[in-house]
Amino acid sequence: MECALGRMNWLAIAHALQNLASITVQTRFPPVEFQLEKAIVDVAVQNELQVRIDHRTKAVSFGLDLHVAHKEEVPEGPYLQQKCQEEQQKIIQVYLRSSKKEHKQMLERKAVIEARKEYLESLHVKREREEQKLLRLQQKENLEAEQKRLNEERQKREVLRRKQELQEIEKKQAMDKIAALKKTTVGAKALKDLTEEEIEAMDADDILARQVEQLDKEKRELQTRLKTQEKKMDYLARAMRVEEIPLLKQQYEEHLVQDQKFWEEQEEERVQRRVEREEKERKEKEKREKREREEAEEKARKEKEEKEREYREKVAKLDEMERKRREREKEIEEREQRASRPDSERDGPPRGLERDRDRDRLGPPRRDEKEEGGSWRRDERERPPPDDGRRREEREPPPPSRDQEEREQDRESTGGWRRGGDGRDDRYRDDRRDDRFRDDRFRDGSSDDPMTMISPTFHLVLAVVDFGLSAVTTMANAALLWTIFRDSRRLLETPPSLLIANLCVSDLAVGLIAGNLVGVKDVYRYQGLDVPVLLDLIIRLGLGLSLFVSSGSIIALSCDRYIAVMHPLKYRSTMTKEKVRYCIALIWLVAVTVFFLPLTNVPEEIFKIVYAHTHASLPAILLTMMYCKVFLAFGKRKRELKDAGITSSMRSKQALDREKNMVVTILIVLALFYVTVLPEFVALHLMQFCESCKRSLLFRQLEVVFSRFLFLNSAMNPFVYAWRLPKYRHVFLRYRSRKFSPTYV
């Protein structure tokens, strides 16, 4: 029984180790003094286990092959009898009860064995791969070492070869020099005492030394010969000079006489030419003066005629205005006369207190027309504007015309103006008529400066606003320039920073020069003084130059952002510092060109339109087009990130945050530009092409207020483009803290 159990165990082990490689068996079950081998051999000798060793595949096989059939041998002698039928039935029942469990255990054991086999095979494959990898690495290192050794040997051979070639070249050059030297006189003399062996042994330095030695020798000999010849020539020159001195004195006296004669002739010719030239210049000067005098007289005559014509036109216009006003005054007097009559004697319906009050407040109409049914209709178009109660500035009265003289004579003859129906005195009526006269002049366009018709308080408020905006603009831009100057190496390292510095300079000019001068101009108007022409010209020139540079810098910054968003890979090659400097120079050149427009004969209306389009319409079109494309690019990029499903990553969130910040900045820039520039742009065009707008005091006040928005743009630019960036704020705060912090010694 024990023998049968031992055989079953060995069969199980043989089944588990079937077809295992001998290397695996040796690895997993290392031999312990050949005990395992001895046990296998003993079992095989006793016919208890069949073993087959395959040395070709290095494998040990246990058991018989399944395709081999063995004959059952019947033992001789006594043997066990078959059990009875009952015992067989019991055995069958026991087998049936335990067969499933044992079968399951066998399957599990088989699965474990298969998994173990696969694991061992994978370890074996992994070990073989590692061994092959180590082998390849070793072979690679050996190959690299061999290659390195071969390279070193090749380099040594190359160095030796080059050295030999250099020696051969030097030797050949030395022989060529010797051959060339032999052909010369100096070389032949230097080498005549040397043998061929000595010549071949010489190098370039020896040849040069021989040549220098021979040249020194020849030089000494030449100096000796020259010194001898010098002595001979000295003796000869002395002898020749002794004989030549009398002849030279005679020749000098002859030349002196000839030169005196020649000078007298030339002097006479010079005097004659000078007289002729002066006579010719005198005649030309007389002709030129006569022509200039005629031109000046003609010009003065034309100017006088032009002034007389303008004077006649103005006098005629003023006479016409005075005539109309006199007619209105006569109508007022006639109405007052009709109003003083009894009701039965009036031609029209009775007028009450309200109509008299309207007449005194609005002035009389041009004519009264009686409609059908007995009602009176007034021509409202010819009614003068109502008095708003504001005190207008006193103006210098125009020269008296014929109608004015007649009116004064009538006034003196009648003893003054008549009283109205409400009992107001003559002085109030004179003020009312003067106000209506000024309103008529303003409507007819005969006033020189319509801004003087505006209330002085309005000009005072404008002056305060101008000086306030100038202070804010100057301080913000000056602080930014100071910050850039203190840390220019870091703040001017990118192309946009150069454009920001240029924008800061132009805005500083707006606040420091143009803004303060406009405030001074408003102070003049507040005091009722005439604005100097030079001050007005300087304001126009300063605004034209600085605002154009500011608009150009904003466009350049927008182009920079457009290229950075639309073509990020080409940004560094496209936007370089050199190109940005050229762009800034071009902006200033065009600004200076536009700057000289007010100095030319171009009408004011034309250069105002040019300013409007160069400062507003062109930048508005360019900014809108570029930022619309940038918005579309942002939307497309956001959709791409959303479609790719990477919107939750930290990097994509940072990119989206940067794009949102840029979108907010773009909206701020566009809104600031439209709010500050477009109102003045529209107002200028309406002032040029709308006649009713020219006559409206309210519209003129709005146009002046809109012009101050330009200064607001210059005051906000530093905060939009620079101060909102952390690097500018940090630099400013750092240097400010250094400046105001206490210093300890």
- Tokens standing for 232? 């001979």
Q: Tell me the angle at which helices 456-486 and 726-740 cross, rounded to the nearest 10 degrees.
A: 90
Specify the DSSP element, H or E, that contains 46: none
pTM (two decimals): 0.39
The H or E element that residue 743 is part of is none
Contact partners, residue 66, CB within 8 Å, separation at least 6: none
> Are 328 and 366 spatial neighbours (Cβ–Cβ below 8 Å)?
yes
Residue 728 above 60 pLDDT? yes
- Torsion angles phi and psi, residue 94, rounded to 5: -60, -40
pLDDT over 70 (residue 36): yes
Percent of the chain with pLDDT over 90: 8
pLDDT tens digit sequence for 343-354: 545 444 444 444
Q: What pLDDT is stored for residue 629 in this prediction?
A: 80
- Sequence-distant (≥ 6) Cβ neighbours of residue 731 within 8 angstroms: 483, 486, 487, 490, 491
- Please report the pLDDT score of residue 355 as a whole number: 46
Where are the domain boundaries for CATH 1.20.1070.10 in the chain? 456-739
Quote the tokens at residue 668: 């701020």
Please answer whether residues 558 and 622 qualify as being in contact, where contact means their C-beta atoms are separated by less than 8 angstroms.
yes
- Contact in structure between 484 and 524 (CB atoms under 8 Å): no
**Cross-strand partners of 60:** 53
pLDDT at 565: 77
Mean pLDDT score across all residues of the chain: 72
Would you say residue 725 has pLDDT above 60?
yes
Q: Which of the listed ranges 302-306, 338-342, 355-359 does the model predict with the highest average pLDDT?
A: 302-306
Measure the CA–CA gap between 125 and 130, rounded to whole angstroms: 9
Mean per-residue pLDDT, 144-156: 90
For the stretch 471-484, pLDDT in tens is 888 888 888 777 77
Name the band, by pLDDT with cuts 50, 70 and 90, for residue 75: low
**Does pLDDT of 389 surpass 70?**
no
Q: What is the pLDDT of residue 349?
A: 44
User: How do residues 58-71 score in pLDDT, each as one tens digit?
Assistant: 777 776 554 444 44
pLDDT at 736: 63
**Do 572 and 526 contact (CB within 8 A), yes or no?**
no
pLDDT tens digits for range 399-445: 444 445 555 554 444 444 433 334 444 443 444 444 443 444 444 44
Q: Looking at the predicted structure, is the pLDDT value of residue 449 above 60?
A: no
pLDDT in tens, 281-330: 999 999 999 999 999 999 999 999 999 999 999 899 898 988 888 898 88
Q: Virtual CA dihedral for 180, 182, 183, 187, nearest 10 degrees?
A: 100
DSSP string of 657-704, one letter each residue: HHHHHHHHHHHHHHHHHHHHHHHHHHHHHHHHH-HHHHH-HHHHHHHH
Amino acid identity for residue 371 in this structure = E
H or E segment to which residue 18 belongs: none
3-state secondary structure (DSSP) of residue 386: coil
Tell me the percentage of the chain whose pLDDT exceeds 70.
Answer: 66
- The CA dihedral of 161, 165, 167, 172, to the nearest 10 degrees, is 160
Q: What is the pLDDT of residues 580-595, one digit of tens each?
A: 888 888 888 888 877 6
pLDDT at 271: 93
Q: Which of 112-116, 548-552, 593-597, 688-692 has the highest mean pLDDT?
A: 112-116
- Which string of DSSP letters, residue by residue, matches 589-617? HHHHHHHTGGGSS--HHHHHHHHHIIIII
Question: CA-to-CA distance for 720 and 480, rounded, in angstroms?
Answer: 12
188-244 residue pLDDT tens: 666 666 666 776 667 667 777 777 787 788 888 888 888 888 888 888 888 888 888
Whole-number Å distance between alpha carbons of 439 and 551: 39
Q: What is the pLDDT of residue 373?
A: 40
- Per-residue pLDDT, 2: 46
Give pLDDT, residue 542: 78
* Integer CA distances (angstroms), 163 to 156, 166, 171, 184, 200, in order: 10, 5, 12, 31, 19
| pLDDT at 263 (0 to 100) | 92
- 19 phi and psi, to 5 degrees? 60, 25
Give the type of residue at 619.
P
Other beta carbons within 10 Å of 568: 9
Q: What is 456-739's CATH superfamily?
A: Rhodopsin 7-helix transmembrane proteins (1.20.1070.10)
Most confident of 140-149, 631-640, 661-670: 140-149
H-type helices in 341-373, by residue range?
A: 353-362
Which DSSP letter does residue 58 get? T
Q: Band of the pLDDT at 386, cuts 50, 70, 90?
A: very low
pLDDT of residue 648: 46
Condensed to tens digits (0 to 9), the pLDDT of residues 245-285 reads: 888 888 889 999 999 999 999 999 999 999 999 999 999 99
Query: Which one, of 567, 576, 554, 570, lies nearest residue 499 by Cα?
Result: 554
Q: How far apart are CA 667 and CA 491, in angstroms?
A: 25
Give residue 276's pLDDT. 93
User: What's the pLDDT tens digit per position in 481-501?
Assistant: 777 777 666 666 677 778 878
Strands 376-378 and 368-370: antiparallel
Bridging pattern class, strands 59-62 and 368-370: unpaired
At residue 44, the pLDDT reads 75
The DSSP secondary structure of 449-476, one letter per residue, reads: -GGGGS-HHHHHHHHHHHHHHHHHHHHH
133 vs 610, residue with greater confidence: 133
